[in-house]
Structure formats: C-alpha cells, structure tokens
Amino acid sequence: MAASGCARPGIVLAAAGDLELDERSGAAQLGSLGALLPGQLRLLNLEGPLTTRGAAAGLDAAGRPTGAPIRFRARPGAAALLHGRIDVVSLANNHALDQGLDGRDDTARALFSQGIAAAFSGHDAELGRAGQRVIVVARDFSAGVDAEAADQLGAAIQSARARGAVVVSLHWGQAGSLLPTRAQRELAARAASAGASVVVGHGPHTVQGIERRGRAVIAYSVGNLAFSCRCTDVLDAYVLVARIERDGRATDVRALPIAAGLAGGAPRRADDPGLYDLIINLSRDLGSKAERVGDAVRIQ
C-alpha cells in the first residue's frame, strides 16, 4: 500500500520490529528499508545505543554470543544509515541502556541530527504529518509489567491523546512465543481504552497475531527487522501498515510479511505462503478477520 500521492486524509503508519546495528553495519544492510516500510510515518525499535561510550560485550569477533551478558554498541554515525528511511524509533527496550543513560542520550542526539525522532519512557516523540499530530509513546516491559506501570502507561496515553493520535511501541512478551500472554492482552486493551490508535509490539523475536479492538489495532509482535549480531535466527516477521484517521481510528490495516535481515543481511519482502498463513491464523485466534490480499494480509 503506497503512501505517496494518496488523496485521502489520514496518516499511513508503517511499523517494523527489532533493529540491531554494530560497527560493521552499512548501507547494504539497510538500503531496502524505504521499500519495506511504505508509510508517511515509519517506526522501528532500535536495539542498542549509538555512542562512543563503553564497548560491545558478550559477542565474539563474528558477532556470536559468548555466553556472557550481551551489551550492544554502534557508532553514532550509523544513524545516517536511517536518514530518509525511518522517521521515529523506540529506545525503550532491554538493550537501550547497554551503555547507560548517557549512551541513550547520545543515541537520541545522533538520531535527531538525521531528522529522526526518538521515543522512550519520559520522552514521547511528537510528529506532524499532513496537518495531523501523532505522538509515539514507547515503553519497555521486557521484565514484566505491574499495576503501577500499567497505570502510568494509561495516563501517558490519555495525556498524549489530548495533543493528537497516539501510537504505542511496547517491548514485551516471552521470547520465542507465537502467542501473547494474558498480561499483554490486558495491557493492550488498557492502551486501546486510553485512546491509542495503534499498539506495536516487539521483543519475542517471533511473529504474533494482530487484534482489532474497537477503533484501535494491536500487533502483539512484528518480529525482527535486521540484526548485525548472530544472536537470533528467526526470519519470519512483518511490517504493520495502518492508516490513522483524523479522529484517531486505525483503518486499512495490513501486515506485509518480510524475511528479517540476519547476521548483517538485508531484510526483504517474503513470499513464503506459510508465513502468510501463520499471520492469518494467529490473528484469527485473536478474533480478527484476516485474509490474504495480493502481497499483504488484510486485517479487519
């Protein structure tokens, strides 16, 4: 679904999953992002800081885990690889603070220098498109969520909704699972009730289904996008595409199946019929109407 030349009002969001860069990352890995994310507002989750502080750890020279705790790091100049391809990133995940709060601040500055907004706890990203405002609220719940954190998320969404449409990026869930937990579903329902138009989940490194809930859409896990390290082998993923109407409704919802770029490779559109069927079945299990239409899965 192309965003350019579209006469309809509303903003087309294209949201992808986990991206991890290192000192070897280059244009060959990320050159396809523009084609993979066909939206006016392009979002992903950036795993690991862009900074000169500290050092990467827990990986050998080939990027394979050594068994020690993993800490990511890439040069600040890597932000230029995202210029013109990404509009906003979430820095709310279990690796965003691998080089401390200063490392995250360095990351936000490097992204800002390339015209890319960053969202994390205490720092929403507010963007304007086509005369509309969209606020991206990002949180890391990879260690779980308690009642206080759920209350705080709901309040943050309600506050942001007063300024524009709200997209929520959540790092959460169980690694390797194809199904959202009960806690995820309850938190997603709360986010939708608080006024979120779109909830984009990532963290399990697998695909999970897409749920329509009233005016909102919830993608529980869109999977990997691209990893430089050799610390995941999950190829199945998708890009969530949705139009955010002026009244905050999410419409024209589609999943575009992709094969993640692993070990420094480039992500690409997937043509595996099994991946289409997986997204359809997982979404139907959540109560959505899902069907393949051309090269996408339509969600209603």
Whether residue 139 contacts residue 112, with contact meaning beta carbons closer than 8 Å, is answered with no
Exposed / middle / buried, residue 165 (Cβ in 10 Å: 0-12, 13-18, 19+): buried
Q: What distance in Å separates the CA atoms of residue 58 and residue 39, rounded to the nearest whole number?
A: 36
Q: How many Cβ atoms from other residues are within 10 Å of residue 182's Cβ?
A: 8
Pairing of strands 236-244, 296-299: unpaired
Q: For the chain, what are the domain ranges?
A: 11-299
Q: What share of the chain is helix, strand, coil (3-state, %, to 5)?
A: 25, 35, 45
Looking at domain 11-299, its CATH superfamily turns out to be: Metallo-dependent phosphatases (3.60.21.10)
Q: How many Cβ atoms from other residues are within 10 Å of residue 148's Cβ?
A: 8
Q: What is the pLDDT along the chain (300 residues), one digit of tens a residue?
A: 444 444 578 999 999 999 999 988 999 999 999 899 999 999 999 999 999 999 999 999 999 999 999 999 999 999 999 999 999 999 999 999 999 999 999 999 999 999 999 999 999 999 999 899 999 999 999 999 999 999 999 999 999 999 999 999 999 999 999 999 999 999 999 999 999 999 999 999 999 999 999 999 999 999 999 999 999 999 999 999 999 999 999 999 999 999 999 999 999 999 999 999 999 999 999 999 999 999 999 999
- Residue 188 has φ and ψ, to the nearest 5°, of -65, -40
What is the per-residue pLDDT for 7?
53
DSSP conformation class of 96: T
What is the per-residue pLDDT for 6?
45
Q: How many Cβ atoms from other residues are within 10 Å of residue 292's Cβ?
A: 15
Q: How many Cβ atoms from other residues are within 10 Å of residue 45's Cβ?
A: 30
pTM, 2 dp:
0.95
Q: What distance in Å separates the CA atoms of residue 168 and residue 157, rounded to the nearest whole number?
A: 8
